[in-house]
Amino acid sequence: MATARRLVVSFGRFWWEFLIGENPDAFIGALVVVGAALLLRHEQDAAIVLVPALAVLCLMESAYRGRRRI
């Protein structure tokens, strides 16, 4: 039982580090962009403009925060 628990905890820690790592802002930004694309899947004209704009904004925000930390 302890071995199974240890494996599950190790698996969870791996995915946490892989997805979020040192930059949780980028992960949250990616979720926002994917969520917007999902919500706008039937509004193609709005999605063509909004999804790339959101992606650029998220990247700019992440770069700004990364530069500010240094």
Asked if residues 8 and 45 have their Cβ atoms less than 8 Å apart, the reply is no
Q: With beta carbons less than 8 A apart as the criterion, state whether 4 and 14 touch.
A: no
Which sequence spans correspond to the domains of the chain? 21-69
**Which residues, 6+ apart, have CB-to-CB distance to 30 below 8 Å?**
58
- In Å, what is the CA distance from 46 to each residue of 13, 54, 55, 68? 37, 12, 14, 33
Contact, 46 vs 40, CB < 8 A?
yes
Higher pLDDT, 38 or 22: 38
On the question of pLDDT at 69 being above 70, the answer is no
The amino acid sitting at 36 is A
Note the pLDDT tens digit of each residue in 39-61.
999 998 999 999 999 999 998 98
